[in-house]
Amino acid sequence: MSERSPRNPVQQIGILVFPDAEELDFVGPWEVFAMAAAVVGDLRVALVAERAEPLRCAKGLRVLPDHDFATAPALDLVLVPGGQGTRAEAENPRLLEWLARTAARCTWVASVCTGSLLLHAAGPGRGKRMTTHWAFVEELRRRAPDAAIVAGPRYVRDGNLVTAAGVSAGIDMALWLVGEIWSPEAARATQRAIQYDPAPPWTAEV
Amino acid sequence: MSERSPRNPVQQIGILVFPDAEELDFVGPWEVFAMAAAVVGDLRVALVAERAEPLRCAKGLRVLPDHDFATAPALDLVLVPGGQGTRAEAENPRLLEWLARTAARCTWVASVCTGSLLLHAAGPGRGKRMTTHWAFVEELRRRAPDAAIVAGPRYVRDGNLVTAAGVSAGIDMALWLVGEIWSPEAARATQRAIQYDPAPPWTAEV
């Protein structure tokens, strides 16, 4: 556990990225946390990857990580996105070892979508209550038979572990974390700054 | 106007990026359009910038554009995000000239947040009904006195021009465009794929 002021227990957020991570899974929370930093101050957000080289996301967007595993700063909150790449990374011992070691020192551990597969494979999700993208609930139940996989909620908290449903659910979870870590007022100011007053236009039954 | 099948009038979407573009302004629509491509087929989405070099967004995320202005494919839909960088780009004749020329050949022209400043500066927004981020409505009214700037709606359509409110509103607008261009069923399938069933947790008055 890092040493932080009790008035600001989270000063450094790290978002793990890897090839074929799903774009909105991590850019939604990135935007929320980075906007929250403008509200609460003394908060940094960084992309961390196995290698500090450009990587191609699941839908083709190419991003540059800020740090590799060796040079990443100490994190207070680690967030793991989902995407097709989670299947390969679930077999990547270097990534799982970094995630296990990093999560053990974090105040909060979070995932979006199929990022929960990685949190389980790395250890922090073992035996926990978690969620994931609606289309991958059964896959997660098979891969994580010791965990309680909940379908339906936008995000699920179990201790310091918070897992969100698919893709866009990371925005709601990140706002919840801002309210829980700093204050509801900070979360509301962040929500206003990103004008998050959603109005899905085509009435899908999601 | 490009020559496209009437059954699929949009085959190539281009999202303009520039230094200090706001991250979620363009990654929200990127995710929606790229997921829609998996539903409707025969659709590509690319990031276009003045130079095909890594650029730093408004909150620090670094992305790699797919094309520069010289090598970009013909576009059927161009989308302009907002962000602090729009103020410098509104004085960039190369960008404005590219945007004017490109928009004139597009079936649809769209912006998110303060991207509407650029659509006005480049020409396509002149005399049109538009919106922007709630905090920049007055600034846009000063910069675009010939346009009708509407505050309140999530997005505003005027002919083939569609402008969205701040940051997260680009997700709703992109879904609307998918429904309008292809079908409401395609938009609903896209919405389900990104599990867009938003539930803002802290009840801000946005």
Blockwise average pLDDT, block size 10, chain B, 206 residues: 62 98 98 97 97 97 98 98 98 98 98 98 98 98 97 97 98 98 96 97 84
Task: Quickly list DSSP for B105-145.
Answer: H-SEEEEETTHHHHHHHHSTTTT-EE---GGGHHHHHHH-T
Q: Which of A25, A61, A137, A155 to mutate to test the interface with B (most CBs of B within 10 A)?
A: A61
Average pLDDT over chain A, rounded to an integer: 95
**Does residue B71 form part of some domain?**
yes
A146 — pLDDT class (breaks 50, 70, 90) = very high
Calculate mean pLDDT across residues A66-72.
Answer: 98
A5 — pLDDT class (breaks 50, 70, 90) = low
Give yes or no for residue A190 having a pLDDT over 80: yes
**Does residue B162 form part of some domain?**
yes
Q: What CATH number corresponds to the domain at position A53?
A: 3.40.50.880
Choosing from A113, A118, A122, A174, the catalytic residue is A113
Which residues span the domain enclosing B85?
12-193
ipTM (interface pTM):
0.96
Residue A2 confidence (pLDDT): 44
pTM of this prediction? 0.96
Angle between helices B93-105 and B115-122 (to 10 degrees): 80
Residue B206 confidence (pLDDT): 78
**Does residue B56 form part of some domain?**
yes
**Does residue B202 form part of some domain?**
no
Which of these ranges, A5-14, A17-26, A113-122, B141-150, has the smallest mean pLDDT?
Answer: A5-14
**Does residue B203 form part of some domain?**
no
Cα separations (Å) of B130 from A186, A201, B14, B125, B137?
Answer: 30, 18, 20, 7, 10
Report, in angstroms and rounded to the nearest whole number, the Rg of chain B calculated over CA atoms: 16
**Does residue A62 form part of some domain?**
yes
CA distance A2 to chain B (A): 24
- For residues A99 and A118, the answer to whether their CB atoms sit within 8 Å is yes
Residue A203 confidence (pLDDT): 81
Query: From CA A145, how far away is CA A11, in angstroms rounded?
Result: 34
User: How many structural domains are present in chain A?
Assistant: 1
Nearest to B165 among A34, A193, A195 (CB): A195
**Does residue B128 form part of some domain?**
yes
Q: Is residue A113 annotated as part of the catalytic site, yes or no?
A: yes
Helix, coil or strand: residue A197: coil
Cβ of B200 within 8 Å of Cβ of A172? The answer is yes
**Does residue B72 form part of some domain?**
yes
